[in-house]
Structures are given as C-alpha cells and as structure tokens.
C-alpha cells in the first residue's frame, strides 16, 4: 500500500478522483493506490500528516467527555419518566440504523418499517407473556422473526425495484396494521399484549443502559458490515447493480444479507420498544410512524452512522424536547387564529418540513453538517471543505 | 407491434374483468359485485391522478390522497360556515389546486433532476405534513359531511340499491377517463405533456415550457384528487385526518399498477377490479371459515398488488416493456 499525492496524477494528466470514498476521513488530496507486486512504484510522496497540538488534544478530549456525559450520566440524573424518553431515543437510533441499511446501503426504500418494528415488538411480548420465556430469549426470537420477514421482502425486492418496491412495502405496512397485528391469539387484539421489563433491568435507568449496550452492538455490527467484503459489495451494488454483477458481485446474496441485517436491527428495536413501555398496542404502529422513520433517517443523513443516530434520537424526543422544555406551544398559542399545537404532533408537523428542507437544499442531512466536527474529533484538522457534498444523496436510492 | 400487444392487453383485461363478473354473479355475490364496482370507481378516480402524474413526470405521488383529504376539509369548513354545497365544492377544488401548485413549485421543481425515488420520499413528506396540519387544525376526530346528492332509492343495479352519490362517482370517473384519454391522444397540449415525460430536453428545445407543463399537470392531478376526495367523502359521510390516504391511496395505486401505470382507461378498469376483489374478500371474511382473518379487505389488496407485480408487472392494459 502506497500513498500517492493526487497532484502528481494531475500533472500526468490523469483524471482526479473527486473524493476519497465513503468515510472521508483521509485528507481530501491523498489517494491510496494499490500497487501490484512486481510493478514499478509510481510515486512515493508522503503527505504531511496533520497532528493536533497538545492543546488541541485537550480540547478534543473535553468534547469527547461532554458527549460521554450527555449519553451516560445526564439520563441518570433525571427522573424515571425522562429516562424512559431517553431510552426511546436510543431505540429509535437502532431503528434508524436499520432503515439506513436498506435506504443507505442497498438503495431500497421501505415505507412499511413500522411493520418490521411492530412485528419485533409483538413477537417479543408474545414470547414473554404467553410462553413465559426470559427476556433475552424473546429478543432473540424477535430478531429471528425480523430476519425472516426481511428475507421474504428482500426476495420481493430482487424482482420489484425502486418505486414499485416502495409501494409494496407501504401496502405491506398497512396490511400488517389491519391484519397481522389484529390476530387475537398472537397480539391480544385491540387490548394489546403486556411486555414486562426483564428482572435484572426493572428500573428505567438500568433499562436505558441495556438499550445503550444493544445500540453499541448494532453500531459495531453495522461498522463491521461496511468494512468487510459484504459492505464493499453493497456499495458497488448501490452505485450500479449491473456493473457490480459483471464484476462478479453476487447481487442476490448481498441484497438478501443487507435485508436480513436490517430485519434483525428492526426486530431488536421493536422488542426493546415494547419492553420500554411494558405493553404493545397496535395503535403504536400506525402508517404515520413508517413515514417518521423514513424522515428521521433521511434528515439524519444516509450512510452517516452518527447523523442517523442524532436524527433518530432528535425525532424521538422532539415533542418532549421542544414542547416540554422550550415550551413552544406557549409561543404558538400566542398566534391569533391558530389552535394549540400539542407536543405529540411536533414530529408530523415539523418533521416533514425538515425532511423537505433536507431533500431540496441539504441532501446530506445532519451527517453532512457534522462531518467537519467528526473529523476534528478524530484528530483531524477542522475544515469545512471536502465533506463530500456530491457524494451523499438520497438519490442513490435505486429507481 | 406495440399496438397489437396493447390490443391484446386490453383484451386480456376485459376477459379477466368479465370472468370475474360472471364468477361473482354465479356464486351469488351480486352485492359484493355492485359495492365493489362503485367503491372501485372511487379508487379509479384517485388512480387517474396518480397515472396522470406518473405519465408526465414519472413520479409516484404519495400526496395524491392528501389532495383529496384537504379538499374534503375545505368543503366541510366552507359548508359548515353557510356556503351552499356546490360553491363549497368549487372552493374545495380550489384548495386542492392550490396545494397541488404549491407542492409542484416548492418541492417538485427544485428536485426536477433528482431521481424519482427522492421525489417519492418528498411527496410522502408532503402527505405527512398535510396529515399533521389536519390533525392540528382539524382535531383528530371524525366529522360528518353531507353527500352532494342525498337520495339513495332511485337507482338499482342487479337488485341492489345504489345511492345517487355513488352513481355520480361512477359517471364522473367514466367521463374523466375518456376526456383525459382524448386529451392525451388528440390535443397538442396533451401530446406536449407526453413529450416532456419522454424527452424533457428535446421538448424544451422545441419551444415547449417544461415548467409550465409541470405546473399544469400537478394542478390537474390535484383537482382530480380533490374531486375524488369530495365525492368519496359524500358516500362515507364520515371523515378524519388522513382519510383518503389510509382508505384509498393503496387501492388506487394497486389499481394504477394493475392498469399499467400509464394507461388512463387502465386506471379506471384497475380501480373497478380492485374494488370488486376487495368487496368480495370482505364478503368472504364474513364466512365462518375465514372469520379468524382480520382486515380481509387490506389483505386482499396487498395480495393483489403482489400478484400483479409478480405475474404481469406491465399491468393489464399496459404496453409490454
């Protein structure tokens, strides 16, 4: 592996690669070139690597500590009701990452993700309440069921792509809502199914840390997935399935793999969601929820793990945060002629506005905006340039 | 060649529809047949708008249902404030038109070069925004609305009484499907819209304003959606937030897919087929054998959609790809 400065390539009249690839961590003007053994090395010119000053390290450390404080300590200091809301934010992050696998990595849009999540929730509640299984076994079953249904839908997506697949998932979501979630024996019908918290994690705080651990596992799996052969195959598939197939990428296997991963994440998210509120009712999984899942992922920024997590958490607590803390409904109440905007409506009134804003002007979402900060936190130089604006687009979704 | 294929497609479609009709009459489900036919007309009306937009800009418009719901709210607001029914309908259609034009100007036009699925997400966003605003301003409860034509004992089909409002929907749908089909095949404007959908750049070079046509199409589709909403609400007489989206959008999409996504008469035929299948499924769901299956209507539409996409993705009246 050799490092070649791209300005050399430019001098030789070669095309200049526009950006350095998905992660964008490397400085924009350095390209990594693989040189086969036996061939003459072209250029070996090490780019001057940036290293922060001691003060810089301290500043970065402080910011990391602040992030850790918000994630690990702050929820512990709030009352249990609030801890419950933070837990929901963590679970939404898992669901957002699940949708990110489909939307961001395979380019298939799911408008029926509330069904994925709902089936996970009902499965886990059913296993715990009806069969008396322990929590972790129930969660494992929920993940397996999630994988299974994702596999079926993945098989459909191989035949039906783009707009038509979106339509199928939307129809699937509505069908789940009307039919699957109404099967009395499995879901308890309109009364719902109780889903108690596991014995070890009865307190809202402990459950929060449990969900955090699951989120960490999901992030790790997602990160490993994208770093391995499978991840590169998925990226190639999203760019151009035909070209990828020509180069020997097995379209079927990798698409199905992505669907299974997304299904497992969604099943896990659903199960955790069910036990967080200790009961599952079918009204929780309405058609609006699927749209909220899509918009939190898109606003978060496709293929940006940090962006998706922030976006999902934001949409999960937006009603509480904006309306409980800043008391915006008081302000809206002051506008004559408009009725009170209740907090629970915030996601479906403010959310779509953010979505449309993201799509039309900032296609990279939150992930794009925080990229300079992310790079700085990892010990890079703070620079607003080279964030790969052209790279991240919802548009990569296959049509 | 394509003409022959299209012809064969039309024949297949008619044959399937006829076989279904005969089958249903044979098993004594005239009730399901008539109800399905009339409900399907409502689906067809919404499907017309979907096909119109898909035909001209290749977008799946998930906000089409909300054009209808917004019109229903406008009708309700106008009518309860003392405006007579017919002018209130005109106001409702104006509201839908305004929403359509606004959507086109603010969302669709900036995303003109974006891939189609981006636009789909955007229209889904518009739909969610409309639902949110409906719940916010109109409260999350059911409201009552009168039908345009109140009588229901005048017409009977196969021994089943059909209300005047339902007949009005059927008549509106047939007239609109034929008028739009003629518009696209006979008028310069219609041909220009088709040209834009096939070759936007070349059309622009021929001196046709792509933007103006885009506004026209979205306005037209919004008015169609509004009309569908207003008439359907008159039949159900109860409506709430996201009314048309949850009740009609998926059957309408299925109808459009069944009709081949680009065929206006196909949307009509597809709507009727979906309506009949759904009504028959609901009828069957009443039988003791299937009593354990909840939501037979939605389930049947889902299975129909999957079936059509698996067996005949170009639809009954669509041209072979």
Supply the CATH number for residue B165's domain: 1.10.3470
pLDDT of B86 reads: 85
Does residue B12 lie within any of the structural domains?
A: no
Out of B111, B135, B246, name the one closest to residue A359 (CB). B111
* Residues A289-312 pLDDT 10s: 888 898 888 888 888 889 899 999
Q: At what angle do helices B30-57 and B264-285 cross, to 10 degrees?
A: 140
pLDDT of A399 reads: 37
Does residue B280 lie within any of the structural domains?
A: yes
Question: In Å, how far is B141's CA from the nearest CA of chain A?
Answer: 14
Of A36-40, A339-343, B20-24, B242-246, the one with minimum mean pLDDT is: A36-40
Q: Over range A117-132, report the average pLDDT.
A: 89
* Residues A314-344 pLDDT 10s: 888 877 766 655 555 555 555 555 566 666 6
pLDDT greater than 60 at residue B250: yes
Query: So where are chain A's domains?
Result: 1-49, 54-396
Contact A352 B126 (CB under 8 A): yes
Question: In Å, how far is B303's CA from the nearest CA of chain A?
Answer: 9
CATH class in words for A54-396: mainly alpha
Q: How confident is the model at residue A8 (pLDDT cuts 50, 70, 90)?
A: very low
More confident residue, A77 or A262: A262
Smallest CA-to-CA distance from A265 within A306, A309, A219 is with A219
How many structural domains are present in chain B? Answer: 1
Out of A182, A338, A349, name the one closest to residue B129 (CB). A349
Smallest CA-to-CA distance from A304 within A105, A159, A121, A170 is with A105
Q: Over range B186-191, report the average pLDDT.
A: 87
Q: Over range B82-88, report the average pLDDT.
A: 85
Sequence-ordered list of residues with C-beta below 8 angstroms from that of A178, at least 6 positions apart, any chain: B294, B295, B297, B298, B299
How far the first Cα of chain A sits from its last, in Å, is 37
Does residue B261 lie within any of the structural domains?
A: yes
pLDDT, chain B, mean: 80
pLDDT of A144 reads: 94
Smallest CA-to-CA distance from B34 within B160, B165, B153, B171 is with B160
More confident residue, B182 or A346: B182
Question: In Å, how far is B62's CA from the nearest CA of chain A?
Answer: 9
Backbone angles phi, psi at B286, to 5 degrees: -75, -20
More confident residue, A138 or A334: A138
pLDDT greater than 70 at residue B24: no
* Three-class SS state of A194: strand
Predicted-assembly ipTM surpassing the 0.85 threshold: no
* Residues A224-263 pLDDT 10s: 888 888 888 888 888 777 888 888 888 888 889 999 999 9
pLDDT greater than 60 at residue A6: no
pLDDT greater than 50 at residue B284: yes
Out of A167, A294, A351, name the one closest to residue B60 (CB). A167
pLDDT, chain A, mean: 77
In chain B, which residues have their Cβ closer than 8 Å to the Cβ of A282? none
Rounded to whole angstroms, the Cα distance separating B242 from B297 reads 18
pLDDT greater than 60 at residue B6: no
pLDDT of A17 reads: 41
């Amino acid at each position: 592996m050799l490092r070649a400065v791209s300005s050399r390539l430019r001098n030789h009249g070669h095309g200049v690669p526009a950006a350095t690839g998905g992660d964008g961590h490397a400085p924009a003007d350095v390209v990594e070139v693989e040189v086969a053994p036996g061939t003459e090395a072209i250029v070996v010119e090490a780019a001057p690597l940036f290293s922060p000053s001691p003060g810089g390290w301290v500043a970065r450390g402080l910011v990391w500590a602040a992030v850790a404080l918000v994630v690990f300590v702050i929820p512990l200091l709030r009352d249990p009701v609030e801890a419950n809301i933070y837990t929901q934010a963590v679970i939404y992050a898992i669901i957002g990452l699940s949708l990110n696998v489909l939307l961001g990595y395979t380019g298939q849009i799911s408008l029926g993700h509330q069904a994925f999540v709902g089936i996970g929730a009902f499965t886990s509640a059913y296993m715990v309440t009806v069969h008396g299984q322990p929590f972790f076994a129930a969660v494992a079953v929920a993940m397996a069921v999630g994988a299974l249904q994702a596999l079926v839908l993945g098989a459909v997506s191989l035949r039906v792509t783009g707009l038509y697949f979106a339509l199928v998932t939307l129809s699937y979501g509505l069908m789940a809502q009307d039919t699957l979630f109404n099967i009395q024996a499995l879901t308890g019908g309109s009364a719902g199914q109780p889903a108690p918290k596991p014995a070890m994690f009865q307190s809202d705080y402990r459950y929060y840390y449990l969900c955090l651990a699951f989120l960490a596992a999901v992030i790790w799996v997602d990160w490993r997935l994208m770093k391995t052969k499978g991840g590169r195959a998925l990226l190639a598939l999203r760019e151009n399935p035909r070209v990828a197939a020509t180069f020997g990428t097995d379209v079927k296997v990798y698409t199905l793999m992505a669907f299974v991963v997304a299904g497992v994440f969604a099943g896990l998210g659903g199960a955790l969601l069910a036990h967080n509120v200790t009961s599952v009712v079918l009204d929780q999984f309405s058609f609006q929820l699927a749209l909220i899942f899509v918009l939190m992922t898109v606003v978060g920024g496709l293929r940006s793990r940090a962006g998706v997590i922030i976006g999902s958490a934001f949409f999960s607590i937006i009603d509480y945060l904006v309306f409980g803390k800043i008391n915006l409904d008081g302000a809206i109440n002051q506008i004559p002629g408009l009725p009170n905007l209740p907090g629970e409506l915030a996601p479906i009134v403010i959310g779509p506005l953010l979505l449309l804003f993201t799509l039309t002007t900032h296609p990279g979402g939150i992930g794009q905006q925080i990229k300079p900060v992310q790079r700085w936190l990892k010990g890079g130089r703070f620079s607003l340039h080279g964030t790969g604006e052209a790279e991240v687009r919802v548009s990569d979704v296959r049509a | 060649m394509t003409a022959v294929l299209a012809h064969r497609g039309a024949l297949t479609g008619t044959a399937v529809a006829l076989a279904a009709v005969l089958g249903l009459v044979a098993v004594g489900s005239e009730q399901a047949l008539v109800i399905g036919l009339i409900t399907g007309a409502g689906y067809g009306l919404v499907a017309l708008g979907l096909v119109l937009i898909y035909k001209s800009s290749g977008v799946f418009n998930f906000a089409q249902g909300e054009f209808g719901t917004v019109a229903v709210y406008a009708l309700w607001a106008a009518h309860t404030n003392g405006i007579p029914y017919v002018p209130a309908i005109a106001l409702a259609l104006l509201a839908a038109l305004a929403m359509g034009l606004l959507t086109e100007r603010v969302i669709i036009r900036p995303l003109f070069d974006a891939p189609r699925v981006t636009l789909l997400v955007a229209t889904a966003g518009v739909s969610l925004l409309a639902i949110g605003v409906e719940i916010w301003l109109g409260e999350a409860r059911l409201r009552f609305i009168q039908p345009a034509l109140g009588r229901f004992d005048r017409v009977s089909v196969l021994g089943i009484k059909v209300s005047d409002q339902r007949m009005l929907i059927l008549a509106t749908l047939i007239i609109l499907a034929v008028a739009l089909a003629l518009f696209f095949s006979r008028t310069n404007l219609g041909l220009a819209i088709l040209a834009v959908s096939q070759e936007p750049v070349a059309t622009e070079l021929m001196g046709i304003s792509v933007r103006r046509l885009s506004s026209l199409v979205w306005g037209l589709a919004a008015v169609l959606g509004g009309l569908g909403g207003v008439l359907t609400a008159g039949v159900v007489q109860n409506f709430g937030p996201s009314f048309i989206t949850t009740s009609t959008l998926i059957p309408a999409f299925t109808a459009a897919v069944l009709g081949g996504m680009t065929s206006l008469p196909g949307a009509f035929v597809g709507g009727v087929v979906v309506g009949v299948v759904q009504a028959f499924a609901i009828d069957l769901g009443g039988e003791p054998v299937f009593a354990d299956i909840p939501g037979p209507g939605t389930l049947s539409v889902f299975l129909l959609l999957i079936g059509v996409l698996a067996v005949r993705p170009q639809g009954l009246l669509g041209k072979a790809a």
